[in-house]
Amino acid sequence: MTARVRVTAGGSLLFHCPGCGNTHAVRLRPPGQWTWNGNAELPSVQPSVNVVGRCHATIRNGRISFTPNDTTHALRGKTVDLPPWEDAAQWDSEVDRDAKENP
Ligand SMILES: [Zn+2]
């Protein structure tokens, strides 16, 4: 099994973003924020994750799709596999805390 996400003790779900190269975090608790299907290998997360002005993505079944209009990096409009969490060393350790639920 290849985990693509990690859940922190505080109830945040983390994943490595192949589009902007950062680690994004969304809050699963308290209820009413993001929901996750509980599958670390083929995660689905709702709603979309929007780092405004940079990176707006939907995660479904282990793949991440970037919006064509309000994503600014090279993967805009594309869908790719979420990278394995185990490859963390190659990623920026920054965790975005400004990801907002898509209105
Ligand atoms: Zn990103």
Instruction: For 5-49, write each residue's pLDDT tens digit.
Output: 999 888 899 999 999 999 999 999 988 899 999 999 999 999 999
The strands making up 95-96's β-sheet, listed across from edge to edge, are: 5-7, 12-16, 23-27, 95-96
H helical segments located in the chain: none
What is the extent of the structural domain holding 31? 5-101
1 CA distance to ligand 1 middle (Å): 24
- Give the whole-angstrom CA distance, residue 25 versus residue 13: 5
pTM for this entry = 0.83
Q: Is the pLDDT of residue 78 over 50?
A: yes
- Give the whole-angstrom CA distance, residue 12 versus residue 34: 9
Q: Is the pLDDT of residue 100 over 80?
A: no
19 CA distance to ligand 1 middle (Å): 5
- Tally of structural domains, the chain: 1
Q: Is the pLDDT of residue 58 over 80?
A: yes
Provide the token pair at 26. Answer: 């969304």
17 CA distance to ligand 1 middle (Å): 5
Closest CA to 37 of 5, 84, 79: 5
